[in-house]
Structure 1
Amino acid sequence: MKVTSWRDAWHEGPGPKTRSEFIILYMKGFLMGIADLIPGVSGGTIAFITGIYSLFLDSIASINKEFFTHLLKLDFKSALSVIHLRFIIPVLFGILSAMLTLARLMHYLMNEHPIPTWATFFGLICASIFIIWKQLDKAFSPKMMFAIIVGTVFAYIMVSLIPVETPENFWFIYLCGIIGITAMILPGLSGSFLLLILGKYEYITGMLKNPFADGALAVILVFSMGTVTGLLGFSKILNFFMREYRQVTMAFLTGVLIGSMKKVWPWKEVLESVEIRGKVKVLREINIVPASMDMENVIAFTLLVIGFLVVIGLEKKANKVIE
């Protein structure tokens, strides 16, 4: 049936019908944005908790071949009726609002209070590993164990070899956008965590906290283009593997998180550093155990435990919603 009016096309897909429903959906997107700013927490988990996960996946799937076919035919009304724009707009607006308004705070914590901040991240990611592990089949097959080992070794080597100064070229920022956004649709895996591994978490949040600084808007635009590409492309490939080879894929992801914990450990000793443009850059460092329990370390351990328990609590809440 051909859509005859813009109003009918707009109301064809799911989404809020009143202002209050729009605000509620926007706030759910805002919570997803907060989660995606924090390494270790997945926006997909928040989508589960707030009851919009299935609609979120459907909205991504609505940007499909039929949608682009209508666009090429210049049949914009039919294209609008296919895409779930009424749902996408408030959620996406909420996500972007959270990232733009809270990125400054995250940037400050990473630079001024690194040990407590990294300790919190460590607890969050430990809980994420626990959550994904629970989703694996209890009867481990050799294939699954192999996938975990491969993922662990791959991630450990990756975080060991990636230099402190990763490229700031647009092609790498674009790649970071692709990789980072794919984690949003996977509960338990954080896009911000992947940006940490790629060495671009502080760089991207630094641009977001001051978007009108010289060159910041260009970086944000390129990163955003990468996120769109990831949603339309690689995320669908990942969804295919999750659908056809779910257990092996989850086992590999579990291994990736385990192997990557080396980079997130908060207590480190610098072995070699260099000063570049007035800033000290670490070239080599090793993980250590804190020698004393001063106030900073007590706070760090406390935040580590709190971060772990918060994610576990969110996961339990998500399971209740699913049931």
Structure 2
Amino acid sequence: MISLIKLFGIGIFIGIANVVPGVSGGTIAVICNVYDTLITLSSLNLARMKQNWKDILSLGLGIGAGILLFAKVITMLYTAYPAQTSSFFIGIVVGSMPFLFKKVRAGLPTAENGAAVSGWLYGTLGAGAVGLALMLGMFFLQKRGVQTAAVVTAFSSGFAVKLAVLGAIAAVAMLIPGISGSFVLLILGVYPTVLQAVADFNIPLLIPIAIGVGAGLVAGARLIAFLLKRFPAPMYGFILGLVAGSVVYLYPRVCQPIAMRAVSATVCLIGYAAVSFFSSRDTSVSME
């Protein structure tokens, strides 16, 4: 029973992470050593779900509870304290970088063949550069964020299809340690709409979102697990580049008084310390 309660609590933490742009639920799952369970739940592996249904149910219920309970809180924080909230998220993103760098190093092969190791190293550096360039390129092309994206509350068939497609993309991103599904929605310009729909329990908009998220989870889970197992160093290098580039989206571009800048710096350090605390308790987890 204690282990099930613990899994439920971890699920809540993962759900909260998926609500916060720039924070990866996949990273939290790896840190808490439940990534394999998350992949099993997402891929609908019926054989393994039947074998471990109690663990999977506890984790799944926790994720759902974290999303539903925290969506309204994030909405209020962004409305009342946009700069400070963004600063807290920046601290979380920066705090996850040492953890991801450790994953990159662990994925590099150790062999006597220096040429092979060098090839992996250059490939990993290249993947990281591609991830960083992708994020910066999208930023300069779109220049949109949670403060400027419009909130849509009315249902239309065309917008429902768009929500389903973008929900699927965000769901795949959610499974990759280091990438935030909410952050992908933010980049694509629908994060405030999705967050408001969850907070208001807007059923007409939640249905296409749920359909897209479900399809994305099932389709992406096995592929992501395969890539992380087969090409760990380049994949984590790519993820690290994405995470590093995400800071430009979160940086609060508003003028703050000196006192409020001090508050922003403080909450940034709190976010960094929180992620560093959990990362220091990372254990090896199976990606099979």
TM-score, structure 1 length as denominator? 0.71
Higher relative contact order, chain-length normalized (CA < 8 Å, sep 6+)? 2
Residues 187/146 of structure 1: CA separation in 2 closer, same or farther (3 Å cut): closer
CA distance in 1, matches of 2:102, 2:7: 29
CA distance in 2, matches of 1:107, 1:56: 26
CA distance in 2, matches of 1:127, 1:157: 23
Which structure: greater helix fraction?
2
Question: What does residue 135 of structure 2 align with?
Answer: 155
Residues 302/154 of structure 1: CA separation in 2 closer, same or farther (3 Å cut): same
Stretches of structure 1 lacking an aligned partner (at least 5 in a row): 1-17, 68-78, 269-289
CA distance in 2, matches of 1:25, 1:39: 23
CA distance in 1, matches of 2:98, 2:49: 41
Task: Give the secondary structure class of the aligned counterpart of 1:111.
Answer: helix
Residues 200/130 of structure 1: CA separation in 2 closer, same or farther (3 Å cut): farther
Q: Is the 8 A contact 2:84 2:264 kept in 1?
A: yes
CA offset digits 1:151-171 (Å, max 9, x no partner): 111111112223645896123
1:260 aligns with 2:246: yes
1:196 aligns with 2:194: no
Q: Please say which structure displays the higher CA radius of gyration.
A: 1
Task: Give the secondary structure class of the aligned counterpart of 1:254.
Answer: helix
Q: Is the 8 A contact 1:41 1:124 kept in 2?
A: yes
CA distance in 1, matches of 2:151, 2:95: 31
CA distance in 2, matches of 1:98, 1:55: 17
1:53 aligns with 2:35: yes
CA distance in 2, matches of 1:107, 1:81: 34
Which structure: greater strand fraction?
1
CA root-mean-square deviation: 2.9
1:306 aligns with 2:288: no
CA distance in 2, matches of 1:314, 1:80: 27
Residues 321/171 of structure 1: CA separation in 2 closer, same or farther (3 Å cut): closer
Task: Give the secondary structure class of the aligned counterpart of 1:55.
Answer: helix
Q: Is the 8 A contact 2:151 2:196 kept in 1?
A: no
Question: What does residue 109 of structure 1 align with?
Answer: 77
**Which residue among 261, 269, 294 is the counterpart of 2:258?**
294
- In structure 2, give the amino acid aligned to 1:127: G
Instruction: Out of 48-57 and 120-129, give the one that drifted further.
Output: 48-57
CA distance in 2, matches of 1:80, 1:145: 36
Question: What does residue 221 of structure 1 align with?
Answer: 207
CA offset digits 1:119-164 (Å, max 9, x no partner): 1111111122332122223767222222222211111111222364
Q: Is the 8 A contact 2:35 2:285 kept in 1?
A: no
Question: What does residue 275 of structure 1 align with?
Answer: none
Question: What does residue 155 of structure 2 align with?
Answer: none
1:1-323 superposed matches below 5 A: 22-61=4-43, 63-64=44-45, 67=46, 82=50, 84-137=52-105, 141-162=121-142, 164=144, 165=149, 169-211=159-201, 216-268=202-254, 294-319=258-283
Q: Is the 8 A contact 2:24 2:179 kept in 1?
A: yes
Residues 80/318 of structure 1: CA separation in 2 closer, same or farther (3 Å cut): closer
CA distance in 1, matches of 2:163, 2:181: 14
Corresponding pairs, count: 264
Give the C-alpha shift of residue 312 in structure 1: 1.2
Task: Give the secondary structure class of the aligned counterpart of 1:199.
Answer: coil
% of aligned pairs identical? 25
Give the C-alpha shift of residue 51 in structure 1: 4.2
Q: Is the 8 A contact 2:89 2:250 kept in 1?
A: yes
